[in-house]
Amino acid sequence: MSAAAFGPPIATVNPATGELLESFEPYDDARVEACLAAAASCAAEWAHSTFAERSRLLVTAAELLEGEVPDIAHVVTTEMGKPFAQAKGEVSKCAAGFRWFAEHAEAMLQDKEVTVDASLGLVTYQPIGAVLAIMPWNFPLWQVARFLAPAVMVGNVGLLKHAPSVPRTALLLEDLFRRAGAPDGLLQTLLIGTDQVPAIIADDRVAAVTLTGSVGAGRAVAAQAGAAGKKVVLELGGSDPFIVLPSADLDRAVPVAVQARVQNGGQSCIAAKRFIVHADVAAEFTERFVGAMAALSVGDPLDPATEVGPLINAAAVDTIEAQVEDARAKGATILCGGERVVGFAGPDQPGCFYAPTVITGIRPGMRVATEEVFGPVALLYAVADADEALALANDTEFGLGSSVWTTDPDEQQRFVAGLAAGQVFVNGMTVSMPQLPFGGIKASGIGRELGSYGLHEFCNVKSVWIA
């Protein structure tokens, strides 16, 4: 690898208070080289492990997570601001994901016999080596788990370049697998700057790259991986529609709509962001939805009463504020929120809070009409009919998740077939789960995580023909 200058310290700053909790020096080239060497050595060993050994490692990691839920969740909450109850839920979800892959991966990776003009034709799945994972801060545990669990069960190893705002969580995961009995080099955290990433992608000991992040970051990494001939999986965000048609059960749809928009402070790629409501139910939905959004409790993420915590940092608040003010200046109507919130600790420690907001009267030319809004801001549209709803839902560069609310079977099938998205949830909010492949189309990325497709993404899918 070529020499790389050290960058600024990688720091944990509590977004609720602005307090610097801990900082770390980026790894130098010698440390990165040691990590790559360890990954290569472990990959050669782990490729020959049995499914029983791989499963045992994931189950042990799950047991450690389950036994340490509050402590691990506290790290997540203080590092990125997720309300404590949601952080505990994320820890438990990771444990469940590890268990699911431990129990089901072997069956999905069995050789498959194919009829050919020979005595035997097979498709077999083999590991490829070290996978570099470039992960975001918003779900700092689950984002890693959903790449790592399939990788481990295939027989690959992981190099984790986590977001610079969550170094403690990254190191916690590395230590968790060490304590679970993972061989040296199976999961290593790389505390590095962005400028060090291209050389790692190009290194022959890295077999593939997976990234969750912005469109710009994904395209840059895809170009680097393509230049090196490496496989890549990208999940690049979304502007997911939440469509409400006249037959929808509003008693269920409204509270789910609120949760779908503000969970994790609205900082989720699959959060519902554009609420597209049929004119027949628009007035009632709007009244109930705006009332529920305005009533949400914003504050200390460690307080059990808090429903919306801080955004990740001051820059994120600045971005949300600029998007909302742009819409306001161009004629949009702010139905609730639309302003910063002074944090629970007072004006001297304002934290990174923004009020749950609902905007209507959105028109082309407004930033919110085309950009992903990564915070507790809902865009509300009223449409005349199902045709307009479907057209508006698809009128975006993104295509990650979608949610449609209707009890009409014909409408359900129409939207399942017609929505340009990687996922369609009918009468429920979009979520990720181990059983279903996760990913998008258009600017939302390429490839899939989770499910059997996530297992096969980073395999050598080898064809065998025996005369």
The 3-state secondary structure of 57-70, one letter per residue: HHHHHHHHHHHCHH
Q: Which of 90, 235, 372, 411 is catalytic?
A: 235
Work out the widest C-alpha separation in the chain, in whole angstroms.
77
Q: Which residues are paired to 123 by β-bridges?
A: 112, 463
Judging by beta carbons within 10 Å of its beta carbon (0-12, 13-18, 19+), is residue 96 exposed, middle or buried? middle
Cβ atoms of 173 and 142 within 8 Å: the answer is no
Which listed residue (269, 336, 352, 459) is catalytic? 269
Is 113 an active-site residue? no
| Rounded Cα distance, 430 and 240, in Å | 9
Does residue 42 carry a catalytic annotation? no
Which class for 271: exposed (0-12), middle (13-18), buried (19 or more C-beta within 10 A)?
buried
Structure tokens that stand for 362 in this block: 């959105």
d(CA 18, CA 314): 9
Dihedral Cα 381, 384, 387, 388, nearest 10 deg:
-40
Residues 364 and 106: their CA atoms lie apart, in Å, by: 49
Q: What residues have CB less than 8 Å from 252, skipping those under 6 apart?
A: 427
Rounded to the nearest 5 percent, the helix, strand and coil shares of the chain are 45, 20, 35
Nearest C-alpha neighbor of 398 from the set 354, 442, 362: 442
Considering only CA atoms, which of 80, 50, 237, 239 is closest in space to residue 172? 80
Task: Name the residues annotated as catalytic.
Answer: 235, 269
